[in-house]
Amino acid sequence: MSRISRRRFLRVAGVGMAASTLPSFASSETARRPFSADAAGSCLAISSANGIASVAVARALVLEKAMRPVSAAVRGVASVEADENDMSVGYGGLPNELGVVQLDSACMDGPTHNAGSVASIEDIMHPAQVAELVMDHTDHINLVGPGARQFALDYGFKAENLLTERARGIWLKWRAQRSGDDRLWPLLDTVPADPALAAEPRPWGTIHCSVLAPNADLGCCTTTSGLAFKIPGRIGDSPLIGCGLYCDNEVGSAGATGRGEAAILSGGSWLVVERMRAGDTPEEACLYALRRVAQQAERGARWQPALWKDGQPNFGLTFYALRKDGLYGSANMRGGGRFAIADEKGARLENCAIAFGQ
Ligand code: ASP
């Protein structure tokens, strides 16, 4: 699968140099390779498991339309944002504690090392596309709340109700069963009344998508309705660069789904990319970041005992990574997870490596 050798990758990424020698930040020879259809084997898209269609679309857009990777990722996730059955992203997403759907999204472009994001945006079905406009048409990175919504309207997006009857029904059940002040431990809140969510902790979701083009350019995006029943205005990791996503065109691209607070506190996606810069495979980098998260969670458990159980983190978190040479991988905290990948063999789900558990 590798299109450039590991030795060359390490050289490009500046690994193994004396501490006093800064790696070259000029575009690498690899990054300048001209676009060529017969290099399609090096065109990949990786995403969370809910993005099996998204990775196929993103890869096709790069190969057939020569679209830049970040735009292909943004367009790839659009069908999930519009899917009322995915209750963790966009339309149909579970609302905040007041019953309002608030979305978080960001994208990052490898070649320009630029990014855009919107957080707590309401009424806009495709926040990833708004994030892309923030990136391309402003010199800001983050827009939040009413400002983000107005920005989207200014660019022609229409305001629409994103709360489906099904999501509203689940929210009503949650509200009816809510007892006391649960704001301190929201991740352990359950929604037992809905069969689709029975036995789940408060439902997690999100889609991350990273894309590698045949010329070795990278881009990514992450989009979500965030933690269900969150406190209004709560921002997760998805719209925060370095947390829910990060890419460096010299090295690779990464993203996260799961407990956003843990991805924020660890700078998780940034850490994954930096580990790849240091020579880790994508899977090794994801596992390294999860172990770091676990160490931090164990310390944090003094304050939040619910985060730590049976000697391991009591929450879910998954990292996804794509290296510039075409290696990819994913790992999750507690097992059972899968991720979507599209390459020359097509789009499919593969198992995540596991940091803890069986
Ligand atoms: N990471 C998202 C957040 O914390 C939620 C998720 O991925 O499940 O908002």
Query: Model confidence over 300-347: pLDDT tens digits?
Result: 888 888 888 888 998 899 999 999 999 999 999 988 799 999 999 999
**Per mean pLDDT, which range of 18-32, 94-108, 112-126 is the poorest?**
18-32
Nearest atom in ligand 1 to the alpha carbon of residue 206 is 7
Mutate to test the pocket of ligand 1, among 81, 208, 224 (most ligand atoms within 8 A of CB): 224
Listed by start position, the domains of the chain span: 6-11+39-354
Determine the Cα–Cα distance for residues 45 and 55; give it in Å rounded to an integer. 5
Rounded to a whole number, what is the distance in angstroms from the first to the last CA of the chain?
A: 28
CA dist list (Å): 206 to 19, 169, 355: 38, 20, 20
**H/E stretch holding 320:** strand 317-323
For residue 87, which phi and psi values (nearest 5 degrees)? -90, 20
Q: Give the pLDDT score at 19.
A: 37
SS3 call for 339: strand
Distance 107 CA to ligand 1 centre (A): 15
CB-CB contact of 256 with 269 (8 Å)? yes
Determine the Cα–Cα distance for residues 94 and 57; give it in Å rounded to an integer. 25
Q: Give the pLDDT score at 303.
A: 82
For the stretch 234-243, pLDDT in tens is 999 999 999 9
Distance 64 CA to ligand 1 centre (A): 32
For the stretch 242-264, pLDDT in tens is 999 999 999 999 999 999 999 99
Superfamily of domain 6-11+39-354: (Glycosyl)asparaginase (3.60.20.30)
**H/E stretch holding 176:** helix 165-177
Positions annotated as catalytic residues are 206
The answer to whether residue 17 scores a pLDDT higher than 50 is: no
The answer to whether residue 193 scores a pLDDT higher than 50 is: no
Q: Give the pLDDT score at 34.
A: 41
In the chain, the percentage of residues whose pLDDT exceeds 70 is 81
The answer to whether residue 198 scores a pLDDT higher than 60 is: no
> What pTM, to 2 d.p., does this model score?
0.87
Q: Give the pLDDT score at 93.
A: 92
Q: Pull the structure tokens for residue 209.
A: 């998508």
Determine the Cα–Cα distance for residues 259 and 276; give it in Å rounded to an integer. 22
Distance 327 CA to ligand 1 centre (A): 25
* Predicted confidence band of residue 41 (pLDDT cuts 50, 70, 90): low
Determine the Cα–Cα distance for residues 94 and 261; give it in Å rounded to an integer. 18
Which residue's CA is minimally distant from atom 5 of ligand 1?
226
Task: List, chain by chain if needed, residues with CB within 6 Å of any ligand 1 atom.
Answer: 88, 104, 204-206, 224, 226-227, 236-238, 244, 257-258, 260
The answer to whether residue 123 scores a pLDDT higher than 50 is: yes
Mutate to test the pocket of ligand 1, among 257, 265, 307, 352 (most ligand atoms within 8 A of CB): 257
The answer to whether residue 54 scores a pLDDT higher than 90 is: yes
